[in-house]
Amino acid sequence: MLTAQRTGALGTTSDQGWPYVSMAPYGIDPAHECLVIHVSELGAHTRYLLKRPQASFMICASETPGEPVHALPRITFQVEARPLERGSETWQSARAAYLERFPDVGFMIEFKDFHLFHLYIVRVRQVSGFGAAKTLHVADARRWLGEPPLS
């Protein structure tokens, strides 16, 4: 599912303490075994992440017409979001990983008000179907992110 989907729901905490959820395209940085997002300072979620790096990121399978939505496979990561210093080695790695999935947005990477973040996994919860939920080992999830995608 990590490679089949390209967007997830990013949950941050607002300045008032309320949950704030937004859609975020993501890449996978295998060198650092983490997810990568590219977000603008215009988005409230970016400001919230810069103040409070604890966040949640959910990836969900797409709906199939006529199929029950309650059984959709999904995975939720609790993450620590780390902004990357422009031009650093980790920024270059994240940039390459993000552009591999989204080559059409290369021009946006250079915009000064956009930031690359690594999302480091601290907890994982998977739902593989109705009534089939389990907590996964973080080490396993990080290893999956570090593996090359299946062709």
Residue ranges of domains in the chain: 7-54+72-146
Residue 42 DSSP code: T
* Distance of alpha carbon 17 from alpha carbon 10, whole angstroms: 15
* Distance of alpha carbon 124 from alpha carbon 77, whole angstroms: 5
Q: What is the pLDDT of residue 151?
A: 44
The whole model's pTM is what? 0.91
Closest CA to 119 of 73, 58, 43, 72: 58
Q: What is the pLDDT of residue 146?
A: 82
Q: What is the pLDDT of residue 39?
A: 96
Give Cα separations from 124 to 31, 40, 51, 96, 134 (angstroms). 20, 26, 23, 25, 9
> Is 6:95 a contact under the CB 8 Å cutoff?
no
> Is 144:71 a contact under the CB 8 Å cutoff?
no
Rg (CA), the chain: 15
Q: What is the pLDDT of residue 125?
A: 94
The tens place of each residue's pLDDT in the chain, 151 residues long, gives 888 899 999 999 999 999 999 999 999 999 999 999 999 999 999 999 999 999 999 999 999 898 888 888 999 999 999 999 999 999 999 999 999 999 999 999 989 999 999 999 999 999 887 778 888 888 888 888 887 655 4
Q: What is the pLDDT of residue 148?
A: 60
Protein fold of 7-54+72-146: Pnp Oxidase; Chain A (2.30.110)
